Amino acid sequence: MLSLDEARTRAEDLVTAARRAGADAADAVYVCNASTNVSVRLGALEDVERSEGEEIGLRVFIGRRSATISASDMNPATLATLVDRCAAMAREAPEDPFAGLAPEDRLMRKRAPALDLADDEEPAPAALRERALIAEAAARGVPGITNSEGGGASSSRSQMALVTSHGFAGCYAGTAHSTYASVLAGSGADMQRDYASHSVRHLEDLDDAESIGVRAGQRAVARLNPIRVDSGVMPIIFDPRVASSLIGHMMSGIVGPAIARRSSFLLDALGEALFDSAVTIIDDPLRPRGLRSRPFDGEGLPTARRALIDRGVLTGWLLDSASARQLGLAPTGHASRGASGSPGAGVSNVHMEAGDITPGDLMADVKHGLYITELIGMGVNTVTGDYSRGASGFLIENGGVVQAVSEITIAGHLREMFRALVPANDLQFRYAVNAPTLRVDGMTVAGA
């Protein structure tokens, strides 16, 4: 793995070589990830894995023609060949009127903000093994647990450097630490599985392994003896573990490339009240220690905290430079990219702000409904907004959770679901996308 300074220098050299080879403009991006993963099962070590990979990518523009090429070999001779090939490819590429680097006047010029993304502590494999064993043992110690899919712990470090030919050069690093456990309760055809996990930037923020394991075990036992429910229209309560997926579907509908292609169910929704006025959704790339925090986007533009949904209203699209040009708008600092291919658009740390009532109050008036803890399948059409997914969770009767349920399908239309959505007050920041418990009335359930 190159150091950050070495990575930035290597990218700068690649861009300089591309200009010498006849490119009108160019950018280069270096990405690297090194990780150690330890897994255990039934109290015994199962696997120790150490992986490290790095890649550098070059994008070259000749007029309105462009090409991208990448390599994992950092040898200078290899990179020289990379430049020549990329320039030759660009000369043969079709013209794209929207191709080009980000607007020069929008590049980040100030010093990158300090986001505290990298932890100096790197646990030894023995420490990871101990953490994994504790998590799995705690899960297996929950009464009713009969088998285990294992426990694990990991530590990783990633680095990124970006250089453009029109004046941007930046780099940053981040670390990640995680623990998980996955166990089974019951026996035979009645077995039920569940899990718990936690991931953070700094080891000191990680939940202790025992609590993660106990949570996994309790979740699996709670799912025993599920019943089938009759089909019908009813309120659905989404546990925070799955509630964030609804935000994900909304974000898929507002990325610039989908809007430019006119392939989004939110195509004409700009400025519209998609949610109740109590709902605000924030994208915050500058959150210290955030799992997706970043000081600049994939094109060198500064990032900033922004309300994607402000008191129910959709405020704008997520735009990289190419989709912004197609739409006649300005890029928003949401470009995302790896070493291969051109930038796309995406978010960073996203959360829905908490509501005013507790999860208990949220379901207090539900006579017959469902509390969903797991969603299955990919039955969501972000072109039409149609929503249909397999699910499992718990039956709600007269305001209380009474019995596990499984083998059901919940369906609706995303825009109608958004309008009906009500958030509880239990927001926690545990993932890259976070939401409190959510209630959506009027969904169709297909059961027995």
> With bands split at pLDDT 50, 70 and 90, how would you rate the model's confidence at 340?
confident
Dist CA 270 CA 3 (whole Å): 43
Check residue 74 and give its pLDDT: 83
Domains in the chain (CATH in brackets) are 4-220 (3.30.2290.10), 226-448 (no CATH)
Say what the pLDDT of residue 339 is: 86
61-106 confidence digits (pLDDT tens) = 999 999 999 999 888 888 888 899 999 999 999 999 999 999 999 9
The mean pLDDT value for 94-122 works out to 94
Q: What is the pLDDT of residue 238?
A: 98
Q: Which amino acid belongs to residue 38?
A: V
Q: Is 75 exposed, middle or buried (0-12, 13-18, 19+ CB in 10 A)?
A: exposed
Assess contact for 303 and 295: CB atoms under 8 A: yes
pLDDT-based confidence at residue 252 (cuts at 50, 70, 90) = very high
**pLDDT of 363-401, one tens digit each?**
999 999 999 999 998 889 999 999 999 999 999 999 999
| SS3 assignment, position 121 | coil
pLDDT at 448: 61
Say if residue 315's pLDDT is above 90. yes
Question: DSSP label at 188?
Answer: G
> Which backbone phi and psi does 253 adopt, to 5 degrees?
-85, -10
Report which secondary-structure segment, H or E, holds 29: strand 25-41
Please compute the mean of the pLDDT values over residues 196-214 and round it to a whole number: 98
The confidence score (pLDDT) of residue 1 equals: 80
Give the whole-angstrom CA distance, residue 262 versus residue 366: 39
227 DSSP 8-state letter: B
pLDDT at 249: 96
Burial call 97-108: b when 16+ CB within 10 Å, e when fewer: eebbbbeeebbb
Percent of the chain with pLDDT over 70: 100
- Does the pLDDT value for residue 217 go beyond 80? yes
Distance of alpha carbon 217 from alpha carbon 148, whole angstroms: 10
Does pTM top 0.85 for this prediction?
A: yes
Residue 307 vs residues 55, 238, 317: alpha-carbon distances, Å: 33, 22, 11
Do the Cβ atoms of 184 and 193 come closer than 8 Å? yes
Cα–Cα dist 166/101, whole Å: 8
d(CA 107, CA 76): 28
- Band the pLDDT of 45: cuts 50, 70, 90: very high
When pLDDT is averaged across residues 105-130 and rounded to a whole number, the result is 95
